[in-house]
């Protein structure tokens, strides 16, 4: 009887999908942070060039 109950709990897959989606979301978030950290300087340079161009054009 105990063995049957333990086996039933061991084979239950009720929350497995949610755990897999949570792990996938975590990996995607980690990849996004890594990519954005890598291109931060490039984005900063682009915005600086745009700002400089706007201030030069307005003068």
Phi/psi of residue 52, each to 5°?
-65, -40
d(C-alpha 3, C-alpha 9), whole Å:
10
The per-residue pLDDT for range 2-59, each reduced to its tens digit, is 777 777 766 666 677 888 999 999 999 999 999 998 899 999 999 999 999 998 877 6
d(C-alpha 9, C-alpha 32), whole Å:
36
The per-residue pLDDT for range 11-21, each reduced to its tens digit, is 666 677 888 99
Largest CA distance in the chain: 86
Phi/psi of residue 13, each to 5°?
-125, 30
């Amino acid at each position: 009887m105990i063995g049957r109950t333990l086996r039933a709990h061991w084979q239950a897959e009720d929350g497995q999908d949610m755990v897999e989606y949570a792990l996938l979301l975590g990996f995607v978030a980690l990849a996004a942070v890594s990519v954005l950290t890598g291109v931060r300087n490039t984005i900063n340079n682009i915005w600086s060039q745009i700002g400089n161009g706007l201030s030069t054009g307005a003068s």
